[in-house]
Structure 1
Amino acid sequence: MSFKINDKVTWAGKIDWELRRFHGEEYSTHKGSSYNSYLIRDKKTILIDTVWKPFAKEFVDNLKKEIDLKEIDYIIANHSEPDHSGALPELLKEIPNVPIYCTKSGAKLLKGHYHEDWNFVEVKTGDALEIGENKLIFVEARMLHWPDSMFTYLTGENILFSNDAFGQHYASELMYNDYVDNAELYQEVIKYYANILTPFSTLVEKKIDEVLSLNLPVNMICPSHGIIWRDNPLQIVNKYLEYARNYQENQVTIIYDSMWNATRRMAEMIAEGIKSANSDIAIKIFNSSKSDKNDIITEVFKSKAILVGSSTINKGILSSTAGILEMIKGLSFKNKKAAAFGSYGWGGESVKIITEELNKAGLEVVNEGIRELWYPGDEEAQRCKTFGENFAKTL
């Protein structure tokens, strides 16, 4: 499958309708994804990125239907990760000497992935490649979200090929932001940012400011996953700036796991207390052993505060709680308050452990947490409500 974006640019990627897990098992893709590769025809012919390895042969076969492979003058590798570069070995069997333009780090990482000494041409921000009527301008985007990431800008057509930035794991044959369901689209946008780009928010803001300072007109943004931004394309740039600046909504997210529903009861009572103190706050409650971890992280990203709870087990906490805390710690969320809660039968270490992990994650822990022995009765439930009320007053 391929389709013309305009007279010079053709999409030559792959829509992956069945994809449900990405980065191994680390990222859920409820809406599938796409691997966007772009063919530019000017006086020179350029291929920007490829597709994931499982679709490599299909990609090369489809590319042959679109163009004689020997007509490809240059390949641009904006990013070395295998979902973008996976078809390079198959393609370069056919055209082994074609120059591959990438960052210095990109060449190093591509060699690390494929152990091939291809014809790499290393570029840096501001370098340009004359291709005929137009030219390509390269902009390094280090740590957005890998060390080798790069943007490529096509003059004349005013298209920014942004690789992972501004993308989404979202399969749609409609392919453009003005065609798809924007509620679905932006849910995948915020999920992608929350789970992948949050640790690099400071770099996101600096890089966007740098790109905007170039005063390049942008008619279209073509990422490497999901849809193409052609209707007011800078809307996604402005949304990223919003996300990068310690984004939060008027929301509290409560995350827990429970063995015999005692900690679940605490979560619900704490929520009641928060709501009674401030009815305008949106409250979302998730059992971390039953809810999708990336969906939970998305809600954490949106929240001004979180509460995390677990039963005590073997002097520790339940595994799903430990897992979500590890994700929260790795994502380096900013400007969020937090507290711990949990039930216990004898040891009761869970609240202390969770509090320590919340501190390690850099969240503002507002109190020492609350723990209750066995299943909360009326008196214990009221304590949890009061805890929620007091927590709400810190927001």
Structure 2
Amino acid sequence: MDKSIRVVEGVHWVGVRHPDLRVFDDLFPTRNGTTYNSYLIEGTEKTALIDTVKEPFAEEFFSKVSEHIDPTKIDIVVVNHTEPDHSGAVAQVLDKNPDVQIYCSKAAENFLKQLLNRSFNAVIVNDGDEVDLGGKTLRFIITPYLHWPDTIFTYLVEEELLFPCDAFGAHYCPDKLFDDEINEFYADFHFYFDCIVRPFKDKVRDALKKCEGLPIKMVCPSHGPIRRSSGQFAIESYARWCAAPSSGGRPKALMAVLSSHGNTRDMANVIATELKAQGVDVEMFALSEMRDDDYRDALEQADVLLIGTPTIQRDAPPHVWHALALISSVTPKAKLGAVFGSFGWSGEAVKMVEQRLTGLKYKLVADGISFRFTPTMENMDVCRSFAEQVAAAVLTEE
């Protein structure tokens, strides 16, 4: 069993390692395991925990805490984020000390009530609120959707340490704790961002603005190594990856098309030509051969999303549903959409895709169109009218 590790005077890592984890939350591969980082901060008057650990590791966690203080004597637990890999031992802290104060956001209080199903002594924090531990001051920064609505950052003023929970973290479990003691882990850092944080780029930009001008000596995330030498690199990487979409120039349509027999593709080409004539640039993806990352990048730059789909076995094909599923993994620049397609036996796909887009909060800017087998000249005229409606809606938004 590991021992606690000194971060700076009066601050210790009391987290746990999980090196053999291979799939996180049954969703994301973790080739190099992960850590559940918790931090014990001892002031001259009060002692605080920044987050806890996943419940199965509670015994090891309390063993580390006990190296410094009787767990029943902890005064404050800061819950930066209530997901169970960080709040899993809060219930046991309460068992040991029912009067402990839980510092958290309002959203976190609501989530904890349903996670714990018990009463607790909550202290709701707002931007800039501070608590004095005696020579060590915790300042709170409200950073919702990084990556849950409840998230806050905690900043240790005197030591200039930032505790950002899931932000700037990595599923990476080295033998050592600090970044300057281990091999480079950029791929794991970027993959973590891509899976966990990328859907909330606009929220990252908001959080980074709140941290501007804040002196930061170390970034102490809740997963992976502590960034003792590369905290600014992590912050600058997020700033680069989350930069706002470029503005100016002609608006852009992203057209994602699957065409089993060429009919939907012929419609797409007519629609694209008319969009360009109306002043809207078009980036077209053949869904059967696209790279997910290229498509997600395009979603973040597009002013409107057009889906072209056939109907196969009374449904939209799997490639189309996959393209729709990727929407929730990004922050689209705009949520305008429209759907078109062709069919043979039946034509349910266009309506089904429209329903999915509206479920994803897209505004449909033209009624979906769908034609049986080979589109006629009259059908292609309808495609041009469809493109005119899309262009008019996009140019109006501009």
TM-score, normalising length: structure 1: 0.69
Which amino acid letter does the alignment assign opposite residue 198 of structure 2?
A: A
Change (3 A) 1:351 1:118: closer
2:205 maps to 205
2:10 maps to 8
- Residue 110 of structure 2 is aligned to residue 108 of structure 1: yes
Which amino acid letter does the alignment assign opposite residue 302 of structure 1?
A: D
2:80 maps to 78
Shift of residue 85, structure 1, vs aligned partner? 0.7
1:136 maps to 138
Secondary structure of 1:245's counterpart equals coil
Matched residue count: 350
Shift of residue 224, structure 1, vs aligned partner? 1.4
- Answer yes or no: is the 8 Å Cα contact 2:141–2:210 preserved in 1: no
Which amino acid letter does the alignment assign opposite residue 333 of structure 1?
A: P
Change (3 A) 1:364 1:17: farther
Q: Structure 2: state its 5+ residue gaps.
A: 247-253, 270-283, 375-398
- Residue 319 of structure 2 is aligned to residue 315 of structure 1: no
Which amino acid letter does the alignment assign opposite residue 147 of structure 1?
A: P
Shift of residue 70, structure 1, vs aligned partner? 3.5
Secondary structure of 2:123's counterpart equals strand
Which amino acid letter does the alignment assign opposite residue 33 of structure 1?
A: T
2:232 maps to 234
Shift of residue 287, structure 1, vs aligned partner? 6.6
- Answer yes or no: is the 8 Å Cα contact 1:160–1:220 preserved in 2: yes
1:164-183 map, 5 Å: 164-178=166-180, 179-183=183-187
- Answer yes or no: is the 8 Å Cα contact 1:76–1:101 preserved in 2: yes
Alignment partner for residue 185 of structure 1, among 186, 189, 194? Answer: 189
Matches of 1:354 and 1:85, distance apart in 2: 38
Matches of 1:230 and 1:358, distance apart in 2: 44
- Answer yes or no: is the 8 Å Cα contact 1:329–1:358 preserved in 2: no
- Answer yes or no: is the 8 Å Cα contact 1:335–1:364 preserved in 2: no
Secondary structure of 1:90's counterpart equals helix
1:40 maps to 41
Shift of residue 328, structure 1, vs aligned partner? 1.0
Change (3 A) 1:52 1:317: same
Identity %: 33
Secondary structure of 1:143's counterpart equals coil
Larger Rg: 2
* Residue deviations 1:229-279 (CA, integer Å, cap 9, x gap): 23241232233333333459xxxx998999xx979xx9xxx9xxxxxxxxx
Shift of residue 320, structure 1, vs aligned partner? 6.5
Which amino acid letter does the alignment assign opposite residue 158 of structure 2?
A: G
Shift of residue 357, structure 1, vs aligned partner? 5.1
Change (3 A) 1:348 1:237: same
Shift of residue 110, structure 1, vs aligned partner? 1.2
Secondary structure of 2:92's counterpart equals helix
Shift of residue 62, structure 1, vs aligned partner? 3.9
2:30 maps to 30
- Answer yes or no: is the 8 Å Cα contact 1:332–1:361 preserved in 2: no
